[in-house]
Amino acid sequence: MTENSVPDRTQVGIVGGGPAGLMLGQLLHLQGIDSVILERRPAEHVIERVRAGVLEQTTVDLLTEAGVGGRLHREGMRHDGIYIAFGGSRHHIDFSALTGGRTITIYGQNEVVRDLIDARRATGAPLLFETPDVSVQDLDTSRPRIRFSERGRPRELTCDFIAGCDGFHGICRASIPAARFRTFERIYPFGWLGILAAAPPASDEIVYSHHDRGFALFSMRSPTITRLYLQCAPDEDLDRWPDDRIWKELQTRLRTDDGWRPNEGAILQKGVTGMRSFVVEPMRHGPLFLAGDAAHIVPPTGAKGLNLAMADVWRLADALAAFYTSGNAGPLETYSDRGLRRVWRAQRFSWWMTSMLHKNESDTAFDERRQLAELDYLVSSSAAMTSLAESYSGAPLG
């Protein structure tokens, strides 16, 4: 489907129309820089894909400044903190009080994507869906090209720069010669079974729960929709999880001794996600810049993936603006190093949250006691809670 006609040349060719690619397009548009966004899947698929839900203060500020915060401010659910539950009790961590007013906002990733697609369409700038055969060429030159087909017709787009915003399984990272980058990876021996349910949220804030039977997470999307996750096997077979088994397991893992438990309702959507930590260094090869999940993956426990993607494209748009307005290539040169610092901090935090809250079959009795001691320390030390609050609510950009 052609949104707007695609030229033969552009300043920035963007591969991938997920949150990273669409936000980059919006930020570049605001700077007067041309871009073309090519997305392999249909628009409806990208809009309906249920994924992240927690926006850091930093991401909310960025979306607002980029002129796409209207619905987010009307419909997003602002939270001052989170609950950590273990041993039958819930403990509140008040981010706002601990960080001088920083908060998080619950607003589905699919809603962010919907707002960004609307904004792109309003600008009239090119956004092409259903381009399954994208490839990038001439990455060793200053005139890189993107090949793709438009309604079956082969096309070529010459660019000054290419932004690889095509997610973990995309083609951009795979187009860099192996000798030119290094990867770092950890695969976790568990996954999350996530559901969306037509039930009013039973808590005003998210609940991360440690339980002998495995981790569970209570979240929400709106005053009528609850979002819940259960730790499961990375390759869990959803057919083994009829709705009543899901609810029974969620109730067991989330219920606390004060009588709190999630409300139940019709299950609207189910899915299983594996968990990994992954980083590529550097996040750049010549005129190709990687951003978002194309460059790094975090396990979802710290709610960092979408937020990191937003920080990447802010930095990239800012660096491209410096290049086009004053010929200063310095910020482009340091794009990767500056980004990796934030990425590794988020990796540390996501790994820490994941290891503190999940049950790992290979853990010894010692490890289990250590995990409980970690949780006990966290909820009884304001220094420990402040550390979590700072990392979770997100460092300011720059």
Angle at 301 between CA 298 and CA 306, to 5 degrees: 50
208 is catalytic: yes
CA distance 228 to 112: 20
53 is an interface residue for ligand DHB by CB under 6 A: yes
81 is an interface residue for ligand DHB by CB under 6 A: no
Instruction: Look at residue 19 and give the partner it binds from ligand DHB, ligand FAD, none, a contact being a CB closer than 5 to 8 Å depending on partner kind.
Output: ligand FAD
Nearest approach, Cβ of residue 22 and ligand FAD (Å): 8
Segment near ligand FAD (CB under 6 A); pick from 52-60, 138-146, 240-248, 386-394: 52-60
Candidate list 29, 79, 210, 211, residue with the active-site label = 79
List binders of ligand DHB among 244-273 (CB under 6 A).
Answer: none
29 is catalytic: no
144 is catalytic: no
Instruction: Provide the 10 A C-beta neighbour count for residue 344.
Output: 14
> Chain-centre distance of CA 143, in angstroms?
31
Instruction: Look at residue 38 and give the partner it binds from ligand DHB, ligand FAD, none, a contact being a CB closer than 5 to 8 Å depending on partner kind.
Output: ligand FAD
Minimal CB distance to ligand DHB: which residue? Answer: 53
Contact 19, 49 (CB under 8 A): no
Return the residue of 102, 221, 285, 304 that touches ligand FAD, per CB under 6 A: 304
Which residue bears the tokens 């937020």?
Answer: 307
Return the residue of 59, 131, 301, 336 that touches ligand DHB, per CB under 6 A: 301
By beta-carbon proximity to ligand DHB, the closer residue of 288 and 303 is 303
By beta-carbon proximity to ligand DHB, the closer residue of 219 and 277 is 219
20 is an interface residue for ligand FAD by CB under 6 A: yes
19 is catalytic: no
List binders of ligand DHB among 211-250 (CB under 6 A).
Answer: 217, 219, 227
Nearest approach, Cβ of residue 303 and ligand DHB (Å): 4
300 is catalytic: yes
Segment near ligand DHB (CB under 6 A); pick from 61-69, 174-182, 299-307, 323-331: 299-307
293 is an interface residue for ligand FAD by CB under 6 A: yes
| Chain contacts with ligand FAD (rule: CB under 6 A) | 15-21, 38-41, 46, 51-54, 109, 131, 134, 165-167, 170-171, 192, 194, 273, 292-293, 300, 303-307, 309
Catalytically annotated residues: 79, 208, 300, 304, 392
